[in-house]
Structure 1
């Protein structure tokens, strides 16, 4: 009898399981941290003595901010898929918000503007939102308490 030895071929494939494990861990990390990022622009909101929004809302409102120079900034909130926050022109604002309103007709949109922004720019943003079909629009302001705190009285 002859002792037959089988020739072993060297393994030429790369084991990808560890790479998949690392990628899944990274995916989980990004999924957890992405909603925590609060992207936006810094504006000085006007001060007003107004009641805060109802905190029982299940979704974060969309925010349109009018910057000092009149540019528009859209913050679509964390739950609007496919919409990125950032500077946006008037035509794109109407198109984007219209698409969101078609998916969620009850969405609330807040308009915020720097204290230095003229009324015309705020009004223009509200007209654009009306053209997009938004029915729930609110204006943003800082609480009146912060004025008293800053003045030292």
Structure 2
């Protein structure tokens, strides 16, 4: 008589990870969609710092100013104390940049001017062809020299 011996199958200790991969992909998609929607604002007090002054032997920069009333001024204008419209300022800056592309432009804003007005002036200068803009500050020593 012949006996048939059956071999027992050994238990497999592998984990099926396919469902976990599916869950991870769904979570990844959810986070990718919701991350740009989350905006948070933090109230900060910006630091005060002393900046290195502009070299006195170099060509003086063109100073575009905005006062507390939101009026624009330009230091190279025939009358630097006369307010300019946004269009006039852009035309003057563009003409000076065409004459000498190495002109440096700095923005001088009144301390009570809103951040939005400074940004609008910087956008106006950018559209006039200014590649980069510096900001003027008053350092600890109030020498009122333009700073970068």
TM norm structure 2: 0.58
| Counterpart residue number, 1:141 | 137
Q: Which has the larger radius of gyration?
A: 2
Conserved? CA contact 1:63–1:75, under 8 Å: yes
Q: Which residue of 2 aligns with 1:111?
A: 107
1:68: which partner in 2? 68
Alpha carbons 2:97, 2:130 under 8 Å: kept: yes
Contact 2:126–2:132 (Cα < 8 Å) also in 1: no
For this pair of structures, how many residues does the alignment match?
Answer: 93
Equivalent position SS for 2:54: coil
Where do 5+ consecutive residues of structure 2 fail to align? Answer: 1-47, 143-148
Query: In the TM superposition, what is the alpha-carbon distance from 1:56 to its structure 2 partner?
Result: 3.0
Structure 1 residues not aligned, in runs of 5+: 1-46, 77-82, 147-153
Tell me how far apart the structure 2 counterparts of residues 48 and 90 of structure 1 sit (CA, whole Å).
Answer: 30
- Verify the 8 A CA contact 1:107 1:136 in the aligned structure 2: no
Distance of 1:137 and 1:144 partners within structure 2: 22
3-state DSSP class of the match of 1:73? strand
Determine helix, strand or coil for the equivalent of 1:112.
Answer: strand
Post-superposition offset of 1:73:
1.0
**1: CA distance between counterparts of 2:53 and 2:104?**
14
The answer to which structure has the higher strand fraction is 1
Distance in 1 (alpha carbons) for counterparts of 2:51 and 2:141: 11
Matches within 5 A, 1:1-153: 48-57=49-58, 59-76=59-76, 83-84=77-78, 85=80, 86-146=82-142
TM-score by length of 1: 0.56
Structure 1 residue aligned with 2:31: none
Whole-angstrom CA distance in 2 between matches of 1:69 and 1:97: 21
Q: Which runs of at least 4 in structure 1 moved beyond 4 Å after TM superposition?
A: none
